[in-house]
Amino acid sequence: MKRIASLAVAAIVTLALGACQLSPKTATQNGYRGTGMDQIQLTKVAMAKDEVPAPPYDPPATDGQRAKEVYQNVQVLGDESADQFNYTMAAITQWVSPEQGCNYCHNPENMASDELYTKVVARRMLQMTRNINRNWKQHVAATGVTCWTCHRGNAIPANYWTMPAAGKSGIIGNRHGQNDPVPESAFSSLPNASLALYITGDPKVDQNIRVQTTGLHPGSGNKTSTMSTENSYAIMMHTSQALGVNCTFCHNSQSFQDWSISTPQRAKAWYGIRMVRETNGQYITPLATVFPAKRKGTEGDPFKVNCTTCHQGKNKPMGGAQMAKDYHALWGETTPAVMAAPAAPAAAPAGGAPAR
């Protein structure tokens, strides 16, 4: 009887532990044994590429009449050939509104009309895509992005976020955004406002994600509060979950703050955070007066992007599939740069390490 009871307990423990493992994982040793530099990845999402749609037809030539010479009210892709314009429109329909078709953005009786808000939004999203592909190569490299990267055949991307509801005044009843498991904080008890702090606004006005001192305490000058530290951990947990990796994908466990021993992915992530900040601050948030209430959060802000919107559990979106190379119009070769990407913090300068 005791043996049966022991087996039953063992079975329960095994099932309980197994439930914690959401999916199979692989571990690769990156540093010396005992330094905690094992890279852990979710096997299923790390190994396989997503199915991505093929181009609607063979990419056409880039010469010939410009789209703005053939069609009316072409404000963004007018510098492309008319053939490239039509080809890109066909692809966008497949990526964003495969069921609704062209009428999702256009009045079929007047294709040039801007009467549908979806067309106004789509135009701004094209500008955003061109800006990312041209000016944020430190993050997207030659792979680039397309509408499919976020939308995956849905009018609204599956992964978005909005500003958290303002807390109640006073201490009673105000959890300060904590103990509210939501995707924005990787379903932890950490504050749910970290995305609002770090990936909105102007990327030139840096909001440092730093919790470690750059010198000996108490003379280091680090005034980071416990509350600020919790916000930093929340955004890092979000990033880790979004990419399906652990901390040592970017950081060296010997010194999380030291850039000189960090992995190359840390600099790429540094740019990515600022790229998303610009995307939300300069392209999506200003559309608050355009979007209807059904596409806004409780605070009246539009649905915004975060790391999960593109990555969806993979360290490379769609497993690294290079879709954008087939779409000349999405690179915006003649579109003026919105801003120059900041210089990569390759090593710690005098006076302390650069912020994440």
Q: Is the pTM of this model over 0.85?
A: no
The per-residue pLDDT for 339 is: 42
Model confidence pLDDT, tens digit, residues 46-65: 445 678 999 999 999 999 99
Confidence of residue 201 (pLDDT cuts 50, 70, 90): confident
Taking residues 199-209, report their average pLDDT: 74
Residues of each annotated binding site: 89, 102, 105-106, 125, 139, 147, 150-151, 236, 247, 250-251, 307, 310-311
* Tokens 């069921």, residue located: 99
What 3-state class would DSSP assign to 348?
coil
Span 79-89, pLDDT tens digits: 999 999 999 99
**Across residues 331-356, what is the average pLDDT?**
44
Q: What is the DSSP string of 289-330?
A: GTS-GGGB-TTSPBPB--HHHHHTT-SSGGGG---GGG-GGG
DSSP output for 156-195: S-SS-B-PPPPPPSSSTT--TT-S---GGGTTSSS-TTHH
Q: Does residue 133 or residue 246 have the better pLDDT?
A: 133
Question: Can you give the pLDDT at residue 18?
Answer: 40
| Pairwise pLDDT comparison (233 vs 211), residue with the higher score | 233
Query: Mean per-residue pLDDT for 121-135?
Result: 96
Q: Which residues are annotated as a binding site for heme?
A: 89, 102, 105-106, 125, 139, 147, 150-151, 236, 247, 250-251, 307, 310-311
| pLDDT value for 351 | 37
Find the mean pLDDT for residues 239-252.
91
Q: How far apart are the first and last CA of the chain?
A: 58
Strands (E), the chain: 25-29, 38-42
DSSP-assigned letter for residue 281: I
Q: Does residue 10 carry a pLDDT above 50?
A: no
**How many CB atoms within 10 Å of residue 145?**
22
Q: Which of 213-217, 227-231, 251-255, 275-279 has the lowest mean pLDDT?
A: 213-217
Give percent of the chain with pLDDT exceeding 90.
Answer: 52
Which has the higher per-residue pLDDT, 273 or 5? 273
Look at phi and psi of residue 240 and say left if phi exceeds 0, alpha if psi is from -120 to 50, else beta.
Answer: alpha
Q: Which domains does the chain have, with CATH numbers?
A: 54-155+321-335 (1.10.468.10), 159-166+175-212+223-311 (1.10.468.10)
Better-scored residue on pLDDT, 174 or 332:
332
| Per-residue confidence band for 42, with pLDDT thresholds at 50, 70 and 90 | low
